[in-house]
Amino acid sequence: MAVSDTVVSADLIDGKAFAQGLRGRVAAAVADLKRKQGLTPGLAVVLVGEDPASQVYVRSKGRQTVEAGMNSFEHRLPETTSQDELLAKVAELNADPAVHGILVQLPLPAQIDSQTVIAAIDPDKDVDGFHVINAGRLMTGASGAAAPLVPCTPLGCLLLLKDRLGDLSGLTAVVVGRSNIVGKPMAQLLVAESCTVTVAHSRTRDLPAVCRGADILVAAVGRPQMIKGDWVKPGATVIDVGINRIDVEDGKTRLVGDVAFDEAAAVAGAITPVPGGVGPMTIACLLANTVTAACRSAGLPLPDFGTG
């Protein structure tokens, strides 16, 4: 698919289609749980304030949760909510047996410390995978009953990479971005797949040269089109986590990633588009994590979504 007159030689990684398949597997597992165990997984999403982007995400999460056959509990709290009020809501959801997954939408208003709130979530209901217990379990490679709930966006990236490349062992991976939500857990997941991993960021010296060494290049910096075509190793697999809205002519806007798509697609072996690449994977993985959390809470075997 050429989006301009630049020649696109890379294969497009269709996250939209992959996410649809994953949601189908989740829905089948939910139907099975309901029929055989009388268990309906439930996801509670808490939104504080009126951030427009967060409202869109939360609505989408609720709709897709219901479409997968699960219970969706949406809690909208005013912008002025205090930290104690939010902690009380989290405690209520921790204690509710119908709630198997809890997600507090970020960012939170300035009067609330997000780390304190995340730390209050029961780690076994932390379907975002942000609690230090889950981060620690991911870092130490814990498995079985102690396996982590893994942050949804990097988990989605990993599924796309494994679908494209199969065994990742021995490959060189560069993750640009070091956030707790994407960059750091992405690096841990790739280490666990026996990749040789570099975490690069805004202070990295000669970032283009570092990126050019990557068989797998994951961009998660939140800077529109920062990664240029000549930063990409020929044949590399490029995963673009960025979702940036930029102004184009006539007052119109357009969504672009952190990668200059046309340039990079002329060099890469495969690349995720924006939109339609990583984006749809995040909610699909959230649904999968919710089913995983529900099965764990009931002591049931975990369904295999290819996410384990």
Tokens of 263: 């340039």
106 versus 165: smaller Cβ distance to ligand GUN:
106
**Residue selected from 23, 29, 125, 128 as contacting ligand GUN according to rule CB under 6 A:** 128
61 is catalytic: yes
Which residue is catalytic, options 64, 89, 105, 233? Answer: 105
Print the binding letters for residues 238-257 with ligand GUN: x by CB under 6 A, - otherwise. --------------------
Question: Do the bridges between strand 253-256 and strand 244-247 make them parallel or antiparallel, or are there none, so unpaired?
Answer: antiparallel
Question: Could you say whether residue 193 binds ligand GUN (CB under 6 A)?
Answer: no
Binding segment for ligand GUN (CB under 6 A), chosen from 89-97, 104-112, 251-259, 293-301, is 104-112
Cβ(27)–Cβ(19) below 8 Å: no
Tokens of 296: 């764990």
DSSP string, 76-140: EE-TT--HHHHHHHHHHHHH-TT--EEEE-SSPPTTS-HHHHHHHS-GGGBTT--SHHHHHHHHH
Mutual angle of helices 15-37 and 279-297, in 10-degree steps: 20
Tokens of 123: 């780690």
| C-alpha dist (Å) from residue 38 to 43, 213, 219, 290, 294 | 16, 51, 42, 16, 12
Question: Could you say whether residue 290 binds ligand GUN (CB under 6 A)?
Answer: no
124 is catalytic: no
Question: Could you say whether residue 104 binds ligand GUN (CB under 6 A)?
Answer: yes
106 versus 142: smaller Cβ distance to ligand GUN:
106
Question: Could you say whether residue 105 binds ligand GUN (CB under 6 A)?
Answer: yes
Question: Could you say whether residue 103 binds ligand GUN (CB under 6 A)?
Answer: yes
| Chain residues that interact with ligand GUN, rule: CB under 6 A | 103-106, 128, 152-153, 181, 282
- Cite the active site residues: 61, 105, 128
